[in-house]
Amino acid sequence: MVKKICCIGAGYVGGPAMAVMALKCPSIEVAVVDVSRPRIDAWNSDRLPVHEPGLDAVVRACRGRNLSFSSDVDRHVADADIVFVSVNTPTKSRGLGAGLAADLAYWESAARMVAAASRSATTTGKSKIIVEKSSVPVRTAEAMERILLAHGGGEGDDAAFHVVSNPEFFSEGTAMRDLLCPDRVLIGGRDRDAVRALVDVYAHWVPEDKIVTTTSLCSAELSKLAANAFLAQRVTSANAISALCEAVGADVSDVSRAVGMDHRVGGGVGGAFLNAGVGFGGPGFHRDVLRLAYACDCNGLPEAAEYWRQVVAMNEYQKSRFVRRVVSSMFGTVAGKKVAVLGFAFKKGVADTRDSPAIDVCRGLVGDRAHVSVYDPAVSEKQILRDTAAKVCVARDAYEAAEGAHGLCVLTEWDEFRTLDYQRIFDGMQRPAFVFDGRNVVDVGKLREIGFVVYSVGKPL
């Protein structure tokens, strides 16, 4: 029976995932540990370091009951029956595989720490389950096993450790909902008892038919990369079609809806992850598509690698195509002209700008010497200035951003951009007043009636 769970890494994945586990498994003590003291202090305060709707309430309900946050890593690792490893795996910035492969330095040190802290467990003969939770390249779990083994972890049935892969699929902004009602939970591992123990934990709140198990660690690891790559490829397919729609006068929203209504594509509901736009962003897609391509390359599969790399190349094309459209529409130059940018986050509902298409679009416009004024309802001024090397201005609202502008670009699909007073915006802008909708949120007909020249991705001009 699992009594104690510990999670190394109090970050974006570990924190929310363990909070939900504590909520749903009141008989299990869950400890989230991290070497960063300030991070742990924040988890123990009223201002959590991760913002997700519903997270505060769950942490408040469980903290002090069966959920704790601590920097005493060794003690909690030593005590736990199951140790989740959810540490950062940034992409390597130098050396072999720079820009493509994952930097596993944190992983390796976590593995060594688990081995050292668990010495006592090896003497009591009780084996520990080590769960790989971070997004990692294929075969990382095997490397973890090797490190544990090298520290005297034993082998086969006598092993002191059993490594299991349990990748996380939640999306930012909907983490709690996704964790409480996941589409599936994936658990891969060779040791049947270890896999069963983890299944039993999840079965506290996830129906068993949604818990998928595999006997192969790397199938589970690969599924995580493939899931993100498939989603990214789907958005990219819609974006590729959007370019053709503009050329022939078709409407990409109609095409996506019609394609998605086929139950084999969109489950019959239409549109899901088929919305064309200025390009995908966020921490997961770009990273995992490139990691997949790198894995193909490393395994002598250059054609398969090239296929996936093309998804990233198309995404870059979509962003630069958007910038080109802005510049060419505004008579071939934006030099000295004010351009408003509405939305800087990589999607609505989050304050995250990692890999946001808005960064590249701003860079492109600034490169053409436009005066860019950015407004986003959630992203801080500091963050926008950091991402753009302080080459843009930050406005307090959409109206201030658009005041005196020649053009306005919508780059995040925030709901408030649908209901702005566009007549007021038009009155404050230069003539002709251009709107470039990178997320298909504005009412094109209405804006044209007001007098705007409107360009929407994948829509007839």
List residues binding ligand UGA (CB under 6 A): 135, 168-172, 228, 231, 235, 273-275, 277, 280-285, 346-347
What minimum distance in Å lies between the beta carbon of 34 and ligand UGA? 19
Cα dist. 159→2, 85, 444 in Å?
Answer: 18, 19, 64
Q: Does the annotation place 131 within a ligand binding site?
A: no
Residue 354, annotated as binding a ligand: yes
The answer to the question of whether 444 is labelled as a binding residue is no
88 annotated ligand binder: yes
What CA–CA distances, in Å, run from 393 to 51, 353, 359, 360, 362? 26, 16, 13, 16, 11
13 assigned to a ligand binding site: yes
Q: Smallest distance, Å, CB 12 to ligand UGA?
A: 8
User: Listing from the earlier edge strand, what are the strands of the sheet with 453-456?
Assistant: 393-394, 371-375, 338-342, 407-410, 434-437, 453-456
Distance CA 282, CA 294 (A): 19
- Helix ranges, 270-340 (H): 285-298, 302-329
12 is in an annotated binding site: yes
Identity of the residue, 286 or 337, whose beta carbon is nearer to ligand UGA in the bound complex: 286
Is there a binding annotation on residue 424?
Answer: no
Tell me whether residue 15 or residue 282 sits nearer to ligand UGA (CB atom): 282
Q: Are 309 and 226 in contact (CB under 8 A)?
A: no
- Shortest distance (Å) from residue 118 CB to ligand UGA: 28
Closest CB to ligand UGA among 161 and 414? 414
Would you say 59 or 231 has its CB closer to ligand UGA?
Answer: 231
Angle between helices 55-62 and 14-24 (to 10 degrees): 50
- For ligand UGA, which residue has the nearest CB? 284
* φ/ψ of residue 288, rounded to 5: -75, -30
Q: What is the secondary structure of 113-135 as a DSSP string?
A: HHHHHTHHHHHHT--EEEEE-S-
> Sign of the CA dihedral 277, 283, 288, 289?
positive
Cα dihedral sign, 44-45-49-53: positive
Question: Are 438 and 457 within 8 A, CB to CB?
Answer: yes
- Distance in Å, CB of 176 to ligand UGA, minimum: 13
Instruction: Determine whether the annotation assigns residue 34 to a binding site.
Output: yes
The answer to whether the beta carbons of residues 384 and 410 sit under 8 Å apart is no
In the bound state with ligand UGA, the residue whose beta carbon lies nearer, of 97 and 283, is 283
40/274 with CB nearer ligand UGA: 274
Nearer to ligand UGA, 127 or 135 (CB): 135
Is 91 annotated as contributing to ligand binding?
A: yes
DSSP for 33-102 reads E-S-HHHHHHHTSSS-SS--TTHHHHHHHHBTTTEEEES-HHHHHHH-SEEEE----PBPSSSTTTTTSB
R_g of the chain, CA atoms, integer Å: 24
Nearest distance in Å: CB 346, ligand UGA: 4
Tell the residue number behind the tokens 């009223």, with chain if given. 46
Task: Report CA-CA distances (Å) from 72 to 14, 31, 68.
Answer: 16, 10, 11
Is 265 annotated to bind a ligand? Reply is: no
Which residue lies nearer to ligand UGA by CB, 231 or 245? 231
Per the annotation, binding residues for NAD(+) are 9-14, 34, 39, 87-91, 172, 354
Per the annotation, binding residues are 9-14, 34, 39, 87-91, 172, 354
